[in-house]
Amino acid sequence: MDDLLDKLDALRTATPDDLFRRVEEMCEALVGVKLFTCSRFDLVARTAERVYTSDEEAYPRTGLKEIVPNRWTDMVLDRREPFLAASIDELRDVFPDHEKIEALGLGAVINQPVHDRNRFLGTINLLHVNGHYTEESLPPLRRVRRPAALAFLSQVRPAG
């Protein structure tokens, strides 16, 4: 019981980056990851913002970016289904920064939508070398949805 209480207390004092880092570690253990980012979206204003990155130098947090509708937004933002691209060729048409991704030696991508009940919170984004992710990579990531939701919710500032 004391161990559980210690873990709950650690959550109380954890920063959003601490929580996102734990989600990153879980993803690494489950399916592997070379670059891990988390993005928050304002679906009404149609903007996106990178709120966590495992490599601040190569792939830094960014300010708000406009969401451009395409098959990725239909799948991930509208239907809340994960997006899987096994190679750079499968994401060129939906990722404006595909050249940067390729320059980092990456190509396989999973974007996992995160929501709390019916509220869309954001995406966790896993990148690896071409061919690393397959359809079999998706089911294990279900285990990180709740911890990822906690990380996104920890960014909410109390009113007043």
CA distances from 66 to 5, 23, 39, 69, 107 (A): 42, 26, 13, 10, 23
Q: What is the pLDDT of residues 72-82, one digit of tens each?
A: 999 999 999 99
Q: What is the pLDDT of residues 55-72, one digit of tens each?
A: 999 989 978 889 999 999
- Determine the pLDDT at residue 155: 86
Give the pTM.
0.90
Higher pLDDT pick, 91 / 10: 91
> One-letter amino acid identity for 79?
R
Sorting pLDDT into bands at 50, 70 and 90, what band is 3?
A: low
Sorting pLDDT into bands at 50, 70 and 90, what band is 10?
A: low
Torsion of CA 70, 147, 98, 103, to 10 degrees: 180
pLDDT at residue 5 is higher than 90:
no
Mean pLDDT of 26-51: 96
DSSP 43: T
Q: Give the span between the Cα atoms of 114 and 83, in whole angstroms.
A: 12
Mean pLDDT of 106-118: 95
Cα–Cα nearest to 27, from 159, 151, 142: 142
Q: What is the pLDDT of residues 119-158, one digit of tens each?
A: 999 999 999 999 999 999 999 999 999 999 999 999 865 4
Torsion of CA 6, 140, 112, 18, to 10 degrees: 20
CB of 70 closer than 8 Å to CB of 106? no
- Determine the pLDDT at residue 160: 42
Alpha helix positions (H), 39-110: 71-72, 98-103
Mean pLDDT of 12-25: 91
* CATH fold for domain 2-153: Beta-Lactamase (3.30.450)
- Determine the pLDDT at residue 2: 60
Percentage of residues in the chain having pLDDT higher than 70: 89
